[in-house]
Each structure stands twice: as structure tokens, then as C-alpha cells.
Homo-oligomer: A and B are copies of this chain.
Amino acid sequence: MGRITQKSLARMLGCDISTISRALRDDPRVTPATKARIRACADKLGYVPDPAAAALVSGRSRVVGIILPELRHIFYNELFEGFSRAALEHDLVAELFLTGFDPLTLEKIISRIRSQRPGGIILGYHQLSFPGLKERLKKEFPVVLIDQDPVEEYDSVSVDSAPAIAETANYLVRLGHRRIGFVADSYASPTRGTLFHAALKSLGVPDTQQLVVQKSGRSEEVGYQAGLELLSRPDRPTAVFCVNDLIAVGLMKAAFELNVPVPAALSIVGFDDLPLSDYLPVPLTTIRQPIQEIVRHSFRVLADRMRTPRGKREHLVLPSALVIRKSTTTVRSEP
């Protein structure tokens, strides 16, 4: 008695365990007939492969490491939920490695990841915390980069936010805005700000660098504090672009508290298009990240690379889009 193993299947079917192993892994050297017979029997008896044994002998597991700075930001949250579901479909296991916490050194996180012998790795944005991480990982595992600028020697699935950001700048300027703020938190890659200001500049908007706020902390709090700061200035902005939606939420609260009506006196644009954002009292104009597409494509690319480690690198670029809702409108003359 005990659980069903390849050995027990072999005994029942009167063939060798290695044949079972091959049949189950769809090895072409096994006759379709025997294959079918073995499969049927395995299914009937509820055979479940032991991943530990498979990992031990083959040197790699069915684990896919998902490396993300944190989870509580809903963007990462949705990403990870997506990966969990995708893993389920591909019969893999998505394992989360959080980089955004203090007492964690590069060596520690590497050794933690290594000890799982993952079959592959999806590496989210991490530069601030762990420069050098991707180089180290690449030596041992197939790595797919997401949520960061593509790099030649890595497979990557990235989002080209340049057009949407330019469109946002353009849109705000068309609405008459000239004093346009920008708020970022510490997880944000600097790219968004750079692109946004370049776009503003090319539209002839006077330099708005003094309306930039960057803070570290919970995104909502960052947005709230930045809002209090920006909105109490004499040259307060008439529009603010937030590097993520949660910052926009905090900013909206600050505006509400200071009796600055949104969008009448302050237009707000976010970034991410969280499910929540459409349900704010003033639904948020924002740039949509194609989260599910990121998940789908990065998983597929990784699966390819796990199969053919030396295959040609893929660099997928997904579009993002400005979603106009109610938090933005034309500038009205000042009170």
C-alpha cells in the first residue's frame, strides 16, 4: 500500500519503470499504443509525479521564480496573481521572491533562489535594491525581464510607454495646462519622468522641474504628501501626472482636503489602470498597463527558453494606452 509511483505502475503493467517514465514525458521512442495504455492506467490510479524526485535527478525543478519588489502595490499583485494562474495552466509552480525588504543582501536572495533550482525566472524591476542581480541569475537560469527597459542579452517583455506618455503630455497641454506637476515614489523607474518631461519640453511647456516631487514610502502616502506640498504652493500646478495610480489616490485625497475640486481645479493622471481606478469617486484618467498580456507573453517566452536555452532572444514590446476618464479637464481661469 502507499502512493502510486512509476515503480508500482510498472509492476501492474508488467513493463519497465523507464518505459513508464518515457511514456509519461511523451518521449517519442515509446509506441503510441503502450503510451496510451500507460497514460490510461496512470490516470485511473491517480498517479501524481513527485516533483522532488524529478528535480533531484534532473537538476531543475518545475518552479518558476517570480522576482518582484513587493506585492502590496496592486500592479505587482495582479502580476503575481496572473503568474500563479498561468503556472497552473502550464503545470508549473510560481514562486514569489520579494526583494523589497530590508535585511536582505544580494547574496542571500541569490542563494535562496538557487536553492530552489528554479527552471526559470521572471525578473521584475529591481535595480534600486539589487544592481547586479540579473547578471548573476543569468549565469544559472533562463531569465525573462519584465517591467523594465529591455536589455539586449536578455529575453524581455516590456511595455513601451513612450507613446502613451507623449499622448498624455499632449492631451494635458491641449486642455490648456501649463503648470504640470509630476509625482514619483521610490519603486518607479526614472524612465517615465524622463519621457514625460521630454514630451512637455517638445510641446513648448515652460520648464516644470520645480513641480516634481519624489518621495519614498507607501504610494498613497507619497501622493498625499506630495499633494499637500504641491497644492499649497503659490504656483500650484493645474495638472499632475502620477507615476502610479495609488499615488493618484493619495493626491486626490489631498486635493479633497484642501478643497481643490478634481477635475475642475486640478486634473490628475495616473499610471497602471488598476481595477480600482475606475471606481474612485472621480474615475481616474490613467495609462493602462497590459498586465495580463505581460503575464501571458513572459510566460510563453520563458517556457520557450526553458525548452531551448540557446534559442534566439525575444524582445517583446507591448503597447500602453491613455485611458481618459473623469479626473482630467480643461483649465479654467484662476479664482
Contacts and interface: CB of A to CB of B under 8 A. Distances in A.
Interface of A: 46, 48-53, 55-56, 61, 70-72, 74, 77-78, 80-81, 84-85, 88, 93-96, 98, 101, 104, 111-112, 114-117, 218, 220-221, 223-224, 246, 249-250, 252-253, 255-256, 275-276, 278-283
Nearest to A54: B52
B96 A84 contact: yes
A94 B93 contact: no
A52 B61 contact: yes
A256 B279 CA distance: 10
B93 A98 contact: no
A93 B115 CA distance: 11
A74 B256 CA distance: 24
B111 A84 contact: no
A200 to B, nearest CB: 27
A112 B49 CA distance: 10
A96 B79 CA distance: 14
The 8 closest A-B CB pairs, nearest first, are A52-B55, A256-B281, A220-B279, A71-B81, A52-B56, A52-B52, A48-B115, A77-B77
A115 B84 CA distance: 16
Nearest to A280: B253
Nearest to A262: B281
Identical copies in the complex: 2
A250 B275 contact: no
A94 B53 CA distance: 20
B279 A51 contact: no
Contact of A84 (B48, B55, B98): B98
A250 B275 CA distance: 11
Contacts of A224: 279
Nearest to A109: B88
Contact of A70 (B81, B116, B253, B255): B81
Contact of A280 (B55, B70, B84, B249): B249
A332 B218 CA distance: 36
15 contacts: A48-B111, A51-B116, A52-B61, A56-B56, A71-B84, A85-B98, A88-B101, A88-B112, A94-B96, A96-B96, A246-B276, A250-B279, A253-B283, A256-B282, A281-B282
Contacts of A111: 46, 48
A117 B54 CA distance: 13
A249 B80 CA distance: 23
Contacts of A78: 72
A115 B77 contact: no
A86 to B, nearest CB: 11
Given A56-B53, A74-B74, A77-B71, A114 B279 contact: no
Given A50-B117, A74-B74, 4 more contacts: A48-B111, A93-B116, A220-B278, A253-B279
B276 A249 contact: yes
A169 to B, nearest CB: 26
B71 A80 contact: yes
